[in-house]
Amino acid sequence: RQAAFRTNLSVLLDQVGSGKESLSFMKRRIRRLAQQWATAANRLDAKLEQRWRDQKKILVHVGFLTEESGDVFSPKVLKGGPLGEMVQWADILTALHVLGHNLKISMSVKELQGFLGVPPGRGSCPLTGPLPFDLIYTDYHGLQQMKQHMGLSLKKHKCHIRVIDTFGTEPAYNHEEYATLHGYRTNWGYWNLNARQYMTMFPHTPDNSFMGFVSEELNGTEKRSIRQSKVSNMAVVYGKEASMWKGKEGFLQILHRYMEVHGTVYYETQRPPEVPAFVKNHGLLPQHELQQLLRKAKLFIGFGFPYEGPAPLEAIANGCIFLQPRFRPPHSSLNHEFFRGKPTSREVSSQHPYAEQHIGRPHVMTVDYNNSVEFEAAIRDIMSTQVEPFLPYEYTCEGMLERVHAYIQHQDFCSPEPPFMPANVSRQGLLGGGFTGPLFVARPNSTALGWASNATAPPAWPPLASLRLLVSQDGQSCVEACQAAALVCEPAHFRFINNKEALRGLKVQCEVIDSEVNHILPAFSVVRRECGLQREPLLFSCAGHSPKYRRLCPCRDFQRGQVALCRDCL
Ligand code: UDP
């Protein structure tokens, strides 16, 4: 069936259910943004020009909100606890509903069993029939619950699963045997999924798919009125829980010399001791009231925690400048408690690397807070800088709908991948850091090995034409190598460049070409004249790097403001 856009959200609101603060929060958000979603749906509908969209049967199982997982989030909704996950789930549900899919929502193991048609309460009872869904969106908690209640059949159906995973999971941590053997085992990884089945909150490593969320958008009138109502000496502190303010008096004192300081810190009866008396604390605000506060404020200031939340994007969208600390050395699972045990080696260079790297000045200032001169200069700078409200397209409702639409229609982890034959690909546009000469990459060959020319093998997505083959520097990852060329690493393209022809085309001097199971491959060592190809497709990794190796990197172009999609990806 063809999916039709929906602009009425009442069915969705009924489906979300009630009885918990987390659900009420999500429903308030869905209602508040309803008009914005409707406008975006109409725009995307026009942009897609009647293109056929399959209507999918989709189950959304929100594992972290189930009683069975302990649901530690719901009781903290009104007490300054994390809200980013609920923001994202509310937006995912809305996007799937608006795109017109056939949606079921489960927030308990019982509902999950009901929807999957497995008998309740009997431990690991395999699902015997076919999976009644095309896609299942869940999280790590939900995945665990499905394992317990679907037993062996989970393995059979796992290509249909998408895991909402805030900080991301790199391939080395996802591959059970490899992670166990090489010290990448964590509390979370080791599910042997295709890494693109993990969907993140921000575009972290391109090994995963970027799901995102949305932020409020302003129309022309609102933008004009903001310009008039901005108070140039008003700052709002990022941090709704008192502990986030601990040890920050020094900065707050400096800030207070220049600006009126506001906070939205949760408190029960008395001002928390961490919040100085000169701060005007509003208490935890409902989302729409926070937006109103941000519309007046000039500065939104972070003190290092929480990491990578939605609030800075909301502040920037409401015309604030976001000031945040740079982390030197960067925080990661190796050196910081918060990231310890998370299935990623990503280095977090500031409180909000997306704001730092994808938005930047004048909207975002990232400075060394240990240097009080630099800190103070930044505040003075901000007071005299005029900025317009700004929201990257990928965080608008239309941007999110477009991206989720593309994933649903094009990402396919169930069909077998067609075999490939080496082929000469046009040299134009193919770069080889320091290497020149004809380049060869493997091209799908639909007639080899019994594939009929009109066989069911899905066309490559992103399309092969978007591929740009690059060689990294020694020790550099493909994430960095592609970025340095204003491109993005595309893990789906690894299979085209993991071959001798690509090495030969790049004129790499190989004394031996080994095929191994290692997440830095394909790669080569110039000094040792050793070349290695990847034997385990699950370990194709943009993030992987190793000091003495240069990597073969499959990069692609991307749309401005929509890094998840290449130019011809829609
Ligand atoms: N928020 C809110 N009231 C407040 C402060 C924040 O509703 O007083 C919301 C804010 O709009 C944002 C969400 O909390 O969408 C999550 O914000 P944050 O960046 O703090 O991330 P978290 O750590 O909660 O995931």
DSSP state letters, 508-565: ---SEEEEE--TT-SEEETTTTEEEEES-GGG--SS---TT-EEEEEEE--BTTBTTS
**Residue 207 neighbours by CB distance under 10 Å:** 29
Q: Which of 287, 305, 314 to mutate to test the pocket of ligand 1 (most atoms within 8 A of CB)?
A: 287
* pLDDT for residue 444: 59
Can you read off the two tokens belonging to residue 64? 């972290």
Q: Which of 456, 396, 408, 403 is nearest to 102 (CA)?
A: 408
Alpha carbon of 511 to ligand 1 centroid (Å): 55
Which residues, in sequence order, are bridge partners of residue 533?
515
Alpha carbon of 279 to ligand 1 centroid (Å): 19
- Nearest atom, ligand 1, residue 264 CA: 8
Instruction: Determine if residue 108 is left, alpha or beta; phi over 0 gives left, psi from -120 to 50 gives alpha, anything else beta.
Output: beta
Nearest Cα residue to atom 12 of ligand 1: 311
Q: Which of 25, 33, 83 to mutate to test the pocket of ligand 1 (most atoms within 8 A of CB)?
A: 83
**Residue 508 neighbours by CB distance under 10 Å:** 22
- Nearest atom, ligand 1, residue 287 CA: 7
**Does residue 264 line the site of ligand 1, with CB under 6 A?**
yes
The secondary structure element, H or E, covering residue 88 is: helix 84-98
- The tokens 């008998």 sit on which residue? 119
Q: Which of 282, 290, 314, 391 to mutate to test the pocket of ligand 1 (most atoms within 8 A of CB)?
A: 290
* pLDDT for residue 446: 46
Can you read off the two tokens belonging to residue 131? 């999976």
* pLDDT for residue 150: 83
* pLDDT for residue 123: 59
Distance between first and last Cα of the chain? 20
Residue 74 vs residues 81, 201, 267, 285, 309: alpha-carbon distances, Å: 9, 20, 17, 16, 18
CB 191 within 8 A of CB 544: no
* pLDDT for residue 418: 64
Alpha carbon of 311 to ligand 1 centroid (Å): 5
Residue 325: asked if its preceding bond is cis (omega within 30°), the reply is: no
CB 314 within 8 A of CB 396: no
Paired sense of beta strands 209-210 and 198-200, if any: parallel
**Does residue 240 line the site of ligand 1, with CB under 6 A?**
yes
Q: Which of 93, 91, 85, 90 is nearest to 167 (CA)?
A: 85
Alpha carbon of 551 to ligand 1 centroid (Å): 39
Can you read off the two tokens belonging to residue 144? 């665990």
- Nearest atom, ligand 1, residue 312 CA: 19
CA distance 497 to 554: 7
Nearest Cα residue to atom 21 of ligand 1: 309
Q: Which of 161, 114, 153, 173 is nearest to 134 (CA)?
A: 161
Q: How many residues does the chain have?
A: 570
CA distance 322 to 302: 8
Residue 130 vs residues 58, 117, 152, 153: alpha-carbon distances, Å: 14, 10, 13, 10
Nearest Cα residue to atom 3 of ligand 1: 285
Nearest Cα residue to atom 23 of ligand 1: 82
CA distance 167 to 3: 31
**Does residue 87 line the site of ligand 1, with CB under 6 A?**
yes
CA distance 74 to 92: 18
**Mean pLDDT per 10-residue run, the chain (570 residues)?**
97 97 98 98 97 98 97 96 97 98 97 88 71 97 92 90 97 96 88 97 97 96 94 97 96 98 96 96 97 98 97 98 98 95 96 98 97 97 96 98 98 82 47 42 50 58 94 97 97 96 92 96 96 97 97 97 96
CA quadruple 414, 153, 102, 210: dihedral sign = negative
Question: From the centroid of its chain, how far is CA 218?
Answer: 23
Four-CA torsion 410, 166, 58, 457, nearest 10 degrees = 20
Reduce the secondary structure of 209-267 to three states and give it as a string.
Answer: EECCCCCCCCCHHHHHHHHHHCCCCEEEECCCCHHHHCCCHHHHHHHHHHCEEEECCCC
CA distance 76 to 26: 14
Can you read off the two tokens belonging to residue 226? 């903001």
**Does residue 82 line the site of ligand 1, with CB under 6 A?**
yes
Nearest Cα residue to atom 25 of ligand 1: 84
Alpha carbon of 82 to ligand 1 centroid (Å): 7
**Does residue 311 line the site of ligand 1, with CB under 6 A?**
yes
CA distance 135 to 140: 16
**Does residue 310 line the site of ligand 1, with CB under 6 A?**
yes
Phi, psi of 268 (to 5 degrees): -90, -70
Amino acid of residue 353: P
**Does residue 287 line the site of ligand 1, with CB under 6 A?**
yes
Model-level ipTM above the cut of 0.95: yes
CA distance 289 to 383: 23
Can you read off the two tokens belonging to residue 364? 């975002």
CB 104 within 8 A of CB 59: yes
**Does residue 306 line the site of ligand 1, with CB under 6 A?**
yes
Reduce the secondary structure of 427-468 to three states and give it as a string.
Answer: CCCCCCCCCCCCCEEEEECCCHHHCCCCCCCCCCCCCHHHEE
Q: Which of 28, 85, 240 to mutate to test the pocket of ligand 1 (most atoms within 8 A of CB)?
A: 240
- Nearest atom, ligand 1, residue 83 CA: 24
* pLDDT for residue 428: 36
Q: Identify the DSSP state of 137.
A: E
